Amino acid sequence: MVAPAPADSGKYTDRRPPSPSFHTPSFVRFALVVLIVAPTACGSDRLRPLPPTQPAAGQIRVMSYNVNFGIAGDPPSIAALAGANPDIVVLQETNEVWERALVAALGTRFLHRRFRSPSGWPASGFGILSRFPIIALDELPAVAGPFIAWRIVLDTPLGRIQILNLHLRPPMSDGGSWVVGFWSTREVRLQELQYHLESLDKKLPTLIAGDFNEDGDGLAMRHLTDRGFADAIATHRGDDPTWSWPISGGITLRFQLDHLLHDAHFVAVAADIVEGGRSDHKPIWADLERIDP
């Protein structure tokens, strides 16, 4: 893997093109191999009711969206985010252009917001938009992959909660191979997750959301579900994809890489994948109620 430049250098050693997101054409070759050994989600044809325009009383709507640094400020992507009417949005791959565009379009809706500019990798930015006060935000260091994580504490109508915003290591080996990386980085994402979990306040109701760079069968995801976390997207949308990449011949590769998990203090009464925006990732959201475990 290309080593990131120092945080204050202002330069990137990343050799990727500016778009799309973290996934390059070499990922296409990797994914074609994966298609041989593991079937991908092809989307669901089942009819679903239209999502509620806003969460019901006693619920909050939380969204996660990898906006794609390569299309910074994209109006259709902002519209996709806004159209779902979330109360809280955790963001991955933001940058200064994304920050300016989101604040200009949605600043009056989300009075509480924070952004972290990318350093080293142009895909390493983070952000949060919230209708509710942000009480604390802890930046957790990158430990095995190129990206940090955020632990965010908010005061909401459901009480004080914490959210872990993740962007885990992509399936790329240290030598730059996506095929080798698919197998060799599974443990790395698990190590990243385990490290970040140590920073959580075990007394606070917890949400974990972001771009996991793996589907529900990944080791990091299994670690969470084995410990009682539930994936709202998997509950309500099965294995429907949240990431897609068109290739030649009219074929589109699809995976569910984005997840929104909750602990036993919540129940996800609704959740969905937004079919909109121009990022290679789709926005995901869940309506959550508080319960006593």
The tens place of each residue's pLDDT in the chain, 293 residues long, gives 223 333 333 332 333 333 344 443 334 434 444 443 334 434 444 445 555 677 888 999 999 999 999 999 999 999 999 999 999 999 999 999 999 999 999 999 999 999 999 988 999 999 999 999 999 999 999 998 899 999 999 999 999 999 999 999 988 777 766 667 777 789 999 999 999 999 999 999 999 999 999 999 999 999 999 999 999 999 999 999 999 978 778 888 789 999 999 999 999 999 999 999 999 999 999 999 999 86
Does pTM surpass 0.85?
A: no
Question: Going from the N-terminus, what domains does the chain have, and what CATH number goes with each?
Answer: 59-282 (3.60.10.10)
DSSP 68: -
Please give the C-alpha separations between residue 211 and each of 16, 126, 149, 157, in angstroms, as whole numbers: 18, 11, 11, 26
Asked whether the CA dihedral 79, 102, 197, 160 is positive or negative, the reply is negative
- pLDDT, residue 32, reads 42
- pLDDT, residue 35, reads 43
Backbone φ and ψ for 59, nearest 5 degrees, come out as -130, 155
Angle at 220 (CA atoms; ends 85, 70), nearest 5 degrees: 50
C-alpha 262/C-alpha 208 separation (Å) is 6
Identify the CA nearest to 260 among candidates 114, 107, 66. 66
- pLDDT, residue 281, reads 97
- pLDDT, residue 283, reads 98
Q: Which two tokens stand for residue 128?
A: 């949060």
Q: Which two tokens stand for residue 118?
A: 């990318």
- pLDDT, residue 51, reads 59
